Amino acid sequence: MAKITYITHENEKHTIEVQNGLTVMEGAVQNDVPGIDADCGGGMACATCHVYVKEDWFNKLPKKEDGEDDMLDMAFEPKTNSRLSCQIIVSDEIDGLEVNIPSKQA
């Protein structure tokens, strides 16, 4: 279990306990957090689960796999701290993670 805080573009905070093994994307979609579309369902094929990860957390997360940056090229307003939330697997180690949701996904 990890507490993940999703911060919407309007600065609403949604803090959710997400089960280990799920992705940060699934934690949002299953709990109706607005702003994460995840059109492709987690296949790293669409870039609509794009989030910004707070700097201190960004370096602690497991590194991006091949292909994630290619997909982030297509995201709406990507930044250096951009990630696809479908590629961040929840574990005890990321308890307390905060992610910011962009103003839109496309």
Q: Under the rule (CB under 8 A), what is the footprint of another protein?
A: 37, 39-41, 43, 45-48, 69-70, 73-74, 76-80, 106
Sign for the CA dihedral angle at 74, 97, 3, 65 comes to: positive
- Pick the closer one to another protein by CB: 7 or 105: 105
Q: What is the closest distance, in whole angstroms, from the C-beta atom of residue 92 to another protein in the complex?
A: 30
- Pick the closer one to another protein by CB: 18 or 46: 46
At position 73, the amino acid (one-letter code) is: D
Q: What is the closest distance, in whole angstroms, from the C-beta atom of residue 1 to another protein in the complex?
A: 26
* Calpha distance 93→5 (Å, rounded): 14
At position 31, the amino acid (one-letter code) is: N
Alpha helix (H) residue ranges in the chain: 24-29, 55-58, 68-72
- Pick the closer one to another protein by CB: 52 or 94: 52
